[in-house]
Amino acid sequence: MEMRNLLVAASVLFLSSIELFPQWSTDPNNNLIVGYGLNPELCSDSAGGCYITYEAGYPAELHLRRLDRYGYQPWGDKRKIAGELEEQMSAKIIGDGEGGVIVSYGDRIFHSRFRLRIQKVDSSGNLLWGATGRRVSVVDTSQSVQRMVTDGAGGCVIVWMESNMGFAEYRINRIDRNGQRVWSDTGLYIISDYNYDPPILTRASDGSYYLKIRRNLYRLNQNGEVVRRDSVTLGYPVADSDGGLILSGRTGTINNIKLVSQRKDSLGNNLWQDPYVEIADSLYLNSPITVRAIYGYYYYWWYRYKNGIQLVTQYQVLRPDGTKLFPNGSINISNYPVDALLADILPSDTGTVVFIWQDYRSDDGVFGQRKDTLNNRLWNLSDVPLYTGMYSDLFAITDCLGGAIGLGWHQFDFSLRMFKVSKNGIMGEVIVPVELISFSGKLVDNLVELYWQTATETNNMGFEIERLQNSKIEGLQDWKTIGFVEGNGTTTEPKIYSFIDENIVTGIYKYRLKQIDFDGTFEYSNEIEIEAGSIPKEYVLFQNYPNPFNSSTVISYSVPMEGKVTIKLYNALGELVKTITDGFFNAGTYKINLSSEDLSSGIYLYKMQTERTSLTKKLIIIK
């Protein structure tokens, strides 16, 4: 056993010290091609990489891929997200908050009629909700246009439309981390409307939910109950930090379209000046609007005519009190006075953001820029080129390390091409926040001692220690957090950490570290395995020791598999005196201390009952 543990430690040390060379391209003329298909979706894996879904082939298959922070595909190949019918499409994806991803998608009945399904996939590529996922509703109606947010507990809340007699019937449901429908088997009914406008769903900072359907704004509590309904004229809802909401939109005349915004608290009261804060005028008629809440500020992006002639892309920032960060007017997104197609505004290091867009300058393409709250350009003043040419669709997410990951789709060859830019403005550069150079463990006197060492750390809040025990290693990956060790923030010096797991019985254990940054992003270490003794081959109830006894004795028992175990104490007449233990136990050997404080002298029987056997022993108390 000691040799096995030594080999585990040595192998983890060796693997952790290998320098990985990123696969991300450093050439804007040669973005990384990851597949070919339609309707791509992109979300973060919370560890510097990403998940991508897209439709491929005919009949349409829905594919899911993961790219790690280095641009490699750790699963080796795609995962097919299947349903009960032949074709799957129209996916939406979000992170599950645990390093995995939740995918909602349509099981195509025919043409544009679907039944919505949902699947959860962990970071290792395991399908957690069955081979074909779960249905969001048991009703056999046409369901589509879904929107989804996390429930903050490993599951999600999803809203969709059902076609019913020419009307769009809006329903909402919560799917928990185990894939169970929580609020209703058919979804909670919200409203019917003939306009078929897509719903907008937002999770508030207090754990409640905002749902906007046309001019109706609903606030739902964590049980799915509607606690408020307001009529609003603004849209683009973004959650604030106090359980409220930021609403924005257009107003004015066709000759002078204005961008305005208002902040509302959880009771629906306006917190900014009435009727709203005017952010800009002279918006282009068909200008898209993007609103993002980043580090307590609210960022707005749009097209406008500057000087009444030139169409340029602008942005403005509002403080939490509704005042403008740039009081003299909105700011060009770039030094080039062009209309840019924005992918997104993303958080970088505290107080700075990253813009990713494509524009039509003479050498048109995709560009990036990082700015602080004074509008200082922190990258190349001419912007950082990320792709030469124009994409038909462009998506961008944070890499959780201050930089960005982008996905472009070409309609002429259906290629999916990706790029990464670090917070330093260097294309293809990978920044490792915590460089783990070793992680090992060993069994010492029925304790497991864990040791790990870092070479450097950046914004490291600390490490959660997670454990997986016995039969669960082969079944559901039910990792348990058993401790936390504080990190050293930012340091370039090597640091050594340790943790002792005292709660050990016979069995096989796996351990891993969950390294967490101060901004909440995290990454898992490699796993190590420790064997404590051997797994019992049969059920055994041992004779208590000492016996007879006066004050206390120890009762030991072994179970060869996971299951319920009950041990009860009876007197000589066969009457139940007390229950000694009652619960579910993993395979292993256990000990219980039995006190005679509330028992009189005499002969007793203690009986172990499991799902497979019943065993009895006799004990004697002498006082």
Largest CA distance in the chain: 101
- Would you say 167 and 193 are in contact if contact means Cβ atoms under 8 Å apart? yes
What is the predicted pLDDT for the residue at 18? Answer: 37
Share of the chain above pLDDT 90, in %: 65
Residues 64-81: tens digit of each pLDDT: 999 998 999 999 899 999
Categorize the per-residue pLDDT at 14 as very low, low, confident or very high, splitting at 50, 70 and 90: very low
pLDDT digits (tens, 9 = 90+) for 477-509: 578 899 999 999 888 788 999 999 987 777 788
Token readout for 579 is 């229950």
* 146-150, 468-472, 614-618: least confidently modelled range: 468-472
- pLDDT value, residue 455: 84
Percent of the chain at pLDDT exceeding 70: 93
Residue 323: Cβ within 10 Å count: 12
Specify the domain boundaries for CATH 2.60.40.10 within the chain: 434-532
Quote the pLDDT of residue 474: 44
Q: What's the pLDDT tens digit per position in 443-477? A: 876 788 999 999 888 889 999 999 987 644 444 45
pLDDT in tens, 52-67: 999 999 999 999 999 9
Residue 459 is encoded by which pair of tokens?
């914004």
Q: Is the pLDDT of residue 5 over 60?
A: no
Confidence class of residue 13 from pLDDT cuts 50, 70 and 90? Answer: very low
- Give the per-residue pLDDT at 339: 67
Are the beta carbons of 604 and 544 closer than 8 angstroms? no
Q: Which of 11-20, 83-92, 467-476 shows the highest mean pLDDT?
A: 83-92
Q: Where in the chain is the domain with CATH 2.60.40.1930?
A: 540-621
**Intra-chain end-to-end CA distance of the chain, in Å:** 44
Provide the mean pLDDT of the chain.
89
Q: Which residue has the tokens 């990489």?
A: 49
Q: What confidence tier does 10 reach under pLDDT thresholds 50, 70, 90?
A: very low
For the segment 101-122, the average pLDDT, to the nearest whole number, is 93
Q: Please tell me the predicted confidence (pLDDT) of residue 589.
A: 80
Residue 308, pLDDT score = 56
Architecture of the domain made up of 434-532:
Sandwich (2.60)
What digits encode the pLDDT tens for the residues 292-338? 999 999 999 988 766 555 678 889 999 999 999 999 999 988 877 66
Give the pLDDT mean for 406-421. Answer: 94
List C-alpha distances in Å: 29 to 25, 33, 427: 9, 12, 12
Tokens 């040791």 sit on residue: 451
pLDDT of residue 224: 96
525-547 pLDDT, tens per residue? 888 988 876 677 889 999 998 99
Residue 470: the pLDDT is: 64
Q: How far apart are CA 389 and CA 479, in angstroms?
A: 45
pTM: 0.73
pLDDT for the residue numbered 400: 87
Angle at 368 between CA 362 and CA 371, to 5 degrees: 120
| CATH 2.60.40.1930 is right for the domain spanning 540-621 | yes
Q: Rounded to 5 degrees, what angle do the CA atoms 128, 132, 133 make?
A: 50
CB burial readout 479-509, b (16+ within 10 A) else e: beebeeeebeeeeeeeeebebebeebbbbbb
The strand order across the sheet containing 614-621 reads: 576-585, 563-570, 602-610, 614-621
CA distance 400 to 421: 12
pLDDT given for residue 405 in this prediction: 97
Whether the per-residue pLDDT at 394 is higher than 90: the answer is yes
User: How high is the pLDDT of residue 596?
Assistant: 92
Peptide bond into 275 cis (omega under 30): yes
Residue-wise pLDDT tens digits, 188-224: 999 999 888 999 999 999 999 999 999 999 999 999 9
Q: Given this model, what pLDDT does residue 17 score?
A: 34
Residue 520 has pLDDT above 60, yes or no: yes
101 vs 131, 265, 600, CA distance in Å?
A: 15, 31, 58
How many other C-beta atoms can be found within 10 angstroms of the C-beta atom of residue 343?
25
Q: Is the pLDDT of residue 170 over 60?
A: yes
Least confident of 236-250, 301-315, 572-586: 301-315
**Better-predicted residue by pLDDT, 381 or 172:** 172
pLDDT for the residue numbered 303:
81
What pLDDT score was predicted for residue 162? 93
**Three-state SS string across 2-71, please?**
HHHHHHHHHHHHHHHCCCCCCCCCCCCCCCEEEEECEEEEEEECCCCCEEEEEEECCCCEEEEEEECCCC
Q: How far apart are CA 394 and CA 411, in angstroms?
A: 12
Among 13-22, 32-41, 234-243, the range scoring the smallest mean pLDDT is: 13-22
Q: How far apart are CA 356 and CA 366, in angstroms?
A: 7
